[in-house]
Amino acid sequence: MHISVFKETKFKENRVAVTPDIVKDFVNKGFQVTIESGAGLASNFSNESYSAAGAKISDNVANMYNNTDIVLRVNAPLPEEIAQMKKGTVLISFMFAATNPELTEACCKAQISAFSMDAVPRISRAQKMDALSSQANLAGYKSVLLAANALGKILPMMTTAAGTIKPSKVVIFGAGVAGLQAIATAKRLGAVVEVSDIRPDTKEQVESLGGKFIEVPTDSTIKVEGGYVKSISDDFLKKQQETVAKHVKEADIVITTALIPGKKAPVLVTEDMVKSMRFGSVILDMAVEQGGNVVGSEVNKTIQKHGVTIIGESNIPSLLSMNASDLYAKNIQTFLYHLATKDGFKWEMDEEITKGSLIVHNGQAVHPSVKQKPVGAA
């Protein structure tokens, strides 16, 4: 089978789906690989490094789409790019299909199959395929560095001849993969860290990393599946906001990481909470692209509001493109080897990983998140 890897077209995207090391392994396993010229440059992988690994380099995108069996991307192609794919092509990328129906429709029209990396089930045997976690780990680390860089003070306590500097206080919303890495990074830098999460079972993980857990009583409106919060009531969000408001008021840095798959991100930091913070404080909203956890945050902008810096960077893993590409490439390599050999796809339709991640099969929407109504229906 023939694999093609293209340049990413999303704004501010520096990652690439496959690295030279993974190309070498694909070739050794009997796959053919074509890389679009310059696809890896933003991640510091040259055309020559891909050629040395056994890939063909091409600048004829239309020809690549017309002659490939498998398209590997970080982000889903645009609908007009999907339209160029030949019938029967298999696309593997992030899709977030539930909130991007135009992608599902484009895949159906092109009569291709599409697997979504964000839909890989969170089960133990799929851990090496979990691209959401690998990228969130990096995002959690980088978020602390971005916020610390924007803060006009240091994070650790420091004793000098001129006096003692108190440690900064960091409040983190969400103790998922990104939040836990943010906790660990902020603690390593010497900050006092407080953490809010609506899942009480995260308390032990937070405290094991040196963070203080902010207790918020749970209620029956919270639905958690596979480690993700699936739904939450407005009344509970209001209760959470009231509980954490005094912690936000005293914080130097606030980092929010809360996402609900397929839905708008919940509002955790209100405008009144922003107003209550000291001048010079910093908020980083990791959920800004999904609507934002912070009232007033703006996608890909750093703004000042009520004397507080609010960072709305939408693609934090891309800022660490070398590591992010390396981890994503290993995720996608493991995933592809699970699904196929050099001779073709297995199409084990009842197998848990295949069933959970397959969005479109031969032009038919098959995933529960997209097949509940006809593609293109109002």
pLDDT at 230: 56
pLDDT at 372: 53
pLDDT at 374: 43
Catalytic residue, chosen from 130, 197, 252, 326, is 130
**Residue 138 domain flag:** no
CATH number at residue 297: 3.40.50.720
**Residue 135 domain flag:** no
Whether residues 256 and 344 share a domain: the answer is: no
Whether residues 302 and 327 share a domain: the answer is: no
Catalytic residue, chosen from 46, 59, 125, 127, is 127
Catalytic residue, chosen from 133, 134, 333, 357, is 133
Whether residues 165 and 309 share a domain: the answer is: yes
**Domain final position from 314, 332, 355:** 314
**Residue 50 domain flag:** yes
- Structural domain including 105 reads 2-129+321-365
CB within 8 Å of 124: residues ≥ 6 apart: none
Whether residues 235 and 301 share a domain: the answer is: yes
Whether residues 332 and 303 share a domain: the answer is: no
**Domain final position from 314, 329, 352:** 314
User: Residues of the chain whose pLDDT is less than 50?
Assistant: 373-378
Whether residues 162 and 291 share a domain: the answer is: yes
Whether residues 68 and 191 share a domain: the answer is: no
Residue 111 is a catalytic residue: no
pLDDT at 225: 57
Whether residues 205 and 348 share a domain: the answer is: no
**Residue 95 domain flag:** yes
Count how many domains the chain has: 2
Element (H, E) at 247: helix 234-249
Catalytic residue, chosen from 21, 111, 122, 337, is 122
- Nearest of 217, 212, 209 to residue 242 by alpha carbon: 217
Rounded to the nearest 10 degrees, what angle do helices 321-339 and 20-28 cross at?
20
Asked whether the beta carbons of 224 and 198 are under 8 A apart, the reply is: no
Whether residues 300 and 209 share a domain: the answer is: yes
Catalytic residue, chosen from 188, 228, 276, 337, is 228
Residue 228 is a catalytic residue: yes
What does pTM read for this prediction? 0.91
For residue 304, count CB atoms less than 10 angstroms from its CB and return exposed for 0-12, middle for 13-18, buried for 19 or more.
exposed
Query: What is the SS3 assignment for 188?
Result: helix
**Residue 373 domain flag:** no
Q: How far apart are CA 55 and CA 194, in angstroms?
A: 48
**Domain final position from 295, 314, 333:** 314
- Nearest of 66, 116, 87 to residue 362 by alpha carbon: 87
- Nearest of 13, 63, 7, 9 to residue 40 by alpha carbon: 7
**Residue 108 domain flag:** yes
**Residue 142 domain flag:** no
Residue 130 is a catalytic residue: yes
Q: How far apart are CA 63 and CA 119, in angstroms?
A: 29
C-alpha distances out from residue 51 to 37, 44, 298, Å: 10, 14, 40
pLDDT at 224: 56
Whether residues 6 and 105 share a domain: the answer is: yes
Whether residues 123 and 169 share a domain: the answer is: no
Whether residues 211 and 99 share a domain: the answer is: no
